[in-house]
């Protein structure tokens, strides 16, 4: 399961911002330009594009390791919390762990809104 989680995050990393910022059509257009539809491998790099700017190391042929990813951070933090608190886990434990282990600059979208409040 862990390997699948890491692989899935790395597969989507190059196009995550593209789809969030420009929408599904931009994602489809990118994959068509790259000759990657249907997607059966890691995303190819097209120079001068959003994926090339923000996640080039996660593109096909460039992967040497798992790149840092907020979704992986949440998974690790959840495991840590369950190991530490088990069924006694409470919202307060999660809040304290976020403040201790997740700097505000490491969270995005809905998580950033929750962090600020």
Does this model's pTM top 0.85? My answer is no
What is the predicted pLDDT for the residue at 108?
74
What is the predicted pLDDT for the residue at 96?
95
pLDDT tens readout for residues 48-89: 999 999 999 999 999 999 988 888 988 999 999 999 999 999
Asked if residue 66 has a cis previous peptide bond (ω within 30° of 0), the answer is: no
pLDDT tens readout for residues 89-114: 999 999 999 989 988 777 777 777 77
């Amino acid at each position: 399961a862990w390997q699948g989680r890491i692989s899935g995050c790395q597969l989507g990393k190059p196009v995550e911002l593209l789809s969030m910022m420009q929408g599904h059509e931009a994602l489809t257009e990118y994959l068509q330009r790259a000759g990657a539809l249907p997607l059966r491998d890691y995303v190819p790099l097209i120079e001068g594009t959003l994926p090339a700017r923000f996640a080039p190391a996660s593109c096909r042929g460039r992967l040497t390791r798992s790149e840092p990813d907020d979704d992986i951070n949440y998974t690790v933090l959840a495991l840590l919390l369950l190991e530490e608190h088990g069924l006694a886990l409470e919202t307060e434990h999660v809040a304290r762990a976020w403040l201790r282990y997740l700097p505000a600059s490491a969270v995005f979208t809905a998580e950033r809104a929750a962090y600020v409040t």
